[in-house]
Structure 1
């Protein structure tokens, strides 16, 4: 197949030459056209290969200045490491680049390099405290299963708190837990304060206090938590069907229209709606089972579902028939 189209241009302004001989003219100079995903001969324009992979960067630049700002080597900068991932790490294995063992003299040199590199990475108490706090954030976020983007947001919020000297007089665990909860709220990731407290090393009361203090001092304004955000995760843990999930969301929407969610615990509202929907759809779950997935007590489930059922005039099967 021969094409007399003009020579293609790389999306980033580069010509990528390939070692492929053209069967038409015998020329060895070929160009990869990443817009068309083809390899073409520079001399005659014949298409030599189709559906090639783009090996260029994931970003685009429209001028030289933008290209210089975006170009990088190595992994991108991250807020989740105290030095933002810019420091050099020296491996503790005493092997060279070819896999051979280091001699005793070179092992001593490598040991000194590791020691001074570690000291250079954390040179003062502020960096030491930041490294400890961000490692604690990584531990809690891993247990909660939150995505990397939320960890980046939490790290940035905590760094702002450190810059404003808000950590003084409060524990680092308290403030990093508050930053993680704030990041979950900002990213609309359904994680309750009780869940944060379960993986944190400080009590719930201190996390709430730190969260309010941080939002007030950093001027952070977050919308109220939507109870419907918890429905999918809680219902999936209870192995409920999609029909039950849809009905639970409908109950929450009606409760919101009647202003029943204002000032109430969103987790309690969500779990009460799920319990009602499970009874209506014939997928009975006991109050104890429902309370465990949300980290609340059976009393909270009972009070929540009774309040919703009475205010919305919902007819549900009697609790005594199934037990709690």
Structure 2
């Protein structure tokens, strides 16, 4: 079998496409932007780079048919996928969140040119957005911490993405956030259930006094923990909720249940 034929049969380890091109010494998938090889090597030493660990779990297909046309677009897409993968792993999110976030990124490519310097903020905003649309409780502050992107930058890009893609996002589930925080605090099932009940009662407080949903959920969890005699401090709940102890105390003072 000739070397030429081997190259024709090679597929992208990330999306399975056979549309591969060399850009100088770099072999790139023109479908998803994955850098497959960083230098030309002999057939005896063939191996894949960059997404080798990720593809061990299987190949993935994308519903979006947007194909990056320029070298910059391909590299930015590759960077976005890498950042989304990293964030998904850190947050232990389900695979479909990854798929949807990447699909949304490719849709954004239709709407505007995406500079490399804003790709990290866009990737973080997309993961948060997809979780919100899927009703997966995920504090914005935690996304900021795990991605290393300032919360203000995530919010800015989140709002712009909603406008560009004309998406609607349901309001955050206070009950879901409360259960998420209670489980993360390793509280008893009865306390988790009470946290949800209290959070449900407190939902009206958000519209009435403009409370932050994450803070309300944390207050519900702490209140439930105290009622059930759980040995947990305000500082511990605040840390889990990615808020300060002062913020939690203020939330507790402003809420009545």
The answer (yes or no) to whether the contact 2:132–2:169 under 8 Å persists in 1 is yes
Per-residue deviation at 1:204?
Answer: 1.0
Which whole-Å CA distance do the structure 2 matches of 1:306 and 1:245 have between them? 21
Which whole-Å CA distance do the structure 1 matches of 2:44 and 2:110 have between them? 35
Per-residue deviation at 1:291?
Answer: 0.8
The answer (yes or no) to whether the contact 2:199–2:220 under 8 Å persists in 1 is yes
Q: Which moved more, 1:170-179 or 1:135-144?
A: 170-179
Partner of 1:260: 205
* Secondary structure of 2:205's aligned partner: coil
TM-score (norm 1): 0.58
1:223 correspondence with 2:170 = yes
Q: How many residues align structurally?
A: 207
What 5-or-longer segments of structure 1 have no aligned partner?
1-74, 90-106, 116-120, 313-324
Partner of 1:8: none
1:146 correspondence with 2:93 = yes
What 5-or-longer segments of structure 2 have no aligned partner?
1-10, 21-39, 49-67
Relative contact order (C-alpha < 8 Å, sep 6+): which is higher? 2
Per-residue deviation at 1:112?
Answer: 9.3
The answer (yes or no) to whether the contact 1:122–1:128 under 8 Å persists in 2 is no
Partner of 1:110: 43
Which whole-Å CA distance do the structure 2 matches of 1:173 and 1:128 have between them? 13
Which whole-Å CA distance do the structure 2 matches of 1:237 and 1:298 have between them? 17
Which whole-Å CA distance do the structure 1 matches of 2:168 and 2:85 have between them? 25
Residue by residue over 1:51-91, the C-alpha shift from the partner in whole angstroms, topping out at 9 and shown as x without a partner, is xxxxxxxxxxxxxxxxxxxxxxxx9x99xx5xx332489xx
Per-residue deviation at 1:169?
Answer: 8.7
Backbone CA RMSD of aligned residues: 3.0
Which whole-Å CA distance do the structure 1 matches of 2:46 and 2:239 have between them? 51
Which whole-Å CA distance do the structure 2 matches of 1:239 and 1:183 have between them? 26
Partner of 1:14: none
1:296 correspondence with 2:243 = yes
1:282 correspondence with 2:229 = yes
Partner of 1:130: 77
Q: 1:93-242 to 2 correspondence within 5 Å?
A: 109-110=42-43, 124-165=71-112, 167-168=114-115, 171-242=118-189
Which whole-Å CA distance do the structure 1 matches of 2:71 and 2:170 have between them? 38
Per-residue deviation at 1:122?
Answer: 10
* Secondary structure of 2:186's aligned partner: coil
Which whole-Å CA distance do the structure 2 matches of 1:113 and 1:293 have between them? 45
Per-residue deviation at 1:237?
Answer: 2.5
Q: 1:108 to 1:280 in 2, by over 3 A?
A: closer
Which whole-Å CA distance do the structure 2 matches of 1:288 and 1:176 have between them? 30
Which structure has more helix as a fraction of its residues?
Answer: 2
Bigger-Rg structure (1/2): 1
Q: 1:213 to 1:169 in 2, by over 3 A?
A: farther
Which whole-Å CA distance do the structure 2 matches of 1:146 and 1:130 have between them? 20
